[in-house]
Structure 1
Amino acid sequence: MTQHPNAELIQRFYSAFQQLDSRSMATCYHPQVRFSDPAFQGLQGQAAAGMWHMLCARAEDFSLTFEVLQADSQQGRARWVASYRFSQTGRRVVNHIEAEFRFADGLIIEHRDHFNLWRWSAQALGLKGLLLGWLPPVQKAISTKAMAGLAQWQRAQ
């Protein structure tokens, strides 16, 4: 059975991510791509590709598994698990993510990742994240810090 070309596109994206090849990942994105997840919200175009460049460049003790769940001409879904050492605390994180995609011109034009930010914060930040990571102001602070880190990294490039 032949996969839909957009399933192959998702496969190519995550296979590149497994190799920390952010340049190949970026070729899967439409120039007008929109990306969002609980930490990085509302990224568009080059900012979305820049986030993957930063994450790949900073990855420590990284591994990734993925499964393409569905893809057709309009949309797709995948499930992936990233395991890594969070550089700010040195703590091990295993993040389970559900991804949704929309396609245009044979590329990913919208990519939304969903994961439990409280579970992530408990792993990445330890007791503080476990006790406070469910609070909306703490989740907002995590996102604000992630976005500021991305802006700083992009200015340095």
Structure 2
Amino acid sequence: MHKNEKLITRLYTGLKNLDADMMLSCYHEEATFRDPVFELHSKKEIDGMWTMLCSRAKEFKLSFDSVQADHSSGSAQIEAAYLFSKTGRKVHNKITAHFEFQDGLIAGHLDEFNFWKWSAMALGVPGYILGWSPFLQKKVQAEAMKNLRLFRSSQ
């Protein structure tokens, strides 16, 4: 197993155990993270996101497989099941993760998932009806960033 495959495995083992510190140890100081909800430009922001998500997780289960990596890039398939905190609705999200590495750590992390499917599960009828629209995605992004700022200011 390549050392970067071990790094990805460590990241998701940390998430599976809701251990944000273990996860953060996998990221480079200048790391970035992007998914359909968050766009983060520093390790400090990434730390805040994972700490917030781990501390608020309800009925959380994670599985991951197809971990592949070489010296510069990698990927994995993830399935996360949890209760969405705002609505209490069950979410089962299928994610493809892509990584870039620098100095033996994650420098770039991109998670791809179907926002429409996610919003239908997380938000119910409004998500099903509007999940395809940039309007709803921007609204969810703005609320997520607001929650992250509030969480970080309370730490």
TM-score range, shorter chain: over 0.9
Q: How many residues are aligned here?
A: 155
Aligned to 2:70: 72
Aligned to 1:9: 7
Structure 2 Cα separation of the partners of residues 120 and 24 of structure 1: 26
Q: What is the letter of the counterpart of residue 112 of structure 1?
A: L
For the residue of structure 1 that corresponds to 2:39, the secondary structure is: coil
Question: Is the deviation greater in 104-113 or in 41-50?
Answer: 41-50
Aligned to 1:130: 128
RMSD of equivalent CA atoms: 0.8
* Aligned-pair CA distance for 1:64: 0.1
After TM superposition, list the pairs within 5 Å mapping 1:62-101 onto structure 2.
Answer: 62-101=60-99
* Aligned-pair CA distance for 1:43: 3.2
| Pair 1:151 & 2:140 matched | no
Aligned to 1:47: 45
Q: What is the letter of the counterpart of residue 86 of structure 2?
A: Q
Structure 1 Cα separation of the partners of residues 39 and 114 of structure 2: 15
Normalising to structure 1: TM-score of the pair?
Answer: 0.96
Structure 2 Cα separation of the partners of residues 102 and 122 of structure 1: 30
Structure 1 Cα separation of the partners of residues 84 and 129 of structure 2: 18
Contact 1:10/1:68 (8 A) holds in 2: no
Contact 2:8/2:67 (8 A) holds in 1: no
Unaligned residue ranges in structure 1 (runs of 5+): none
CA distances 1:42-93 after superposition (whole Å, capped 9, x unpaired): 3322101210010000000000000143100000001101100011111000
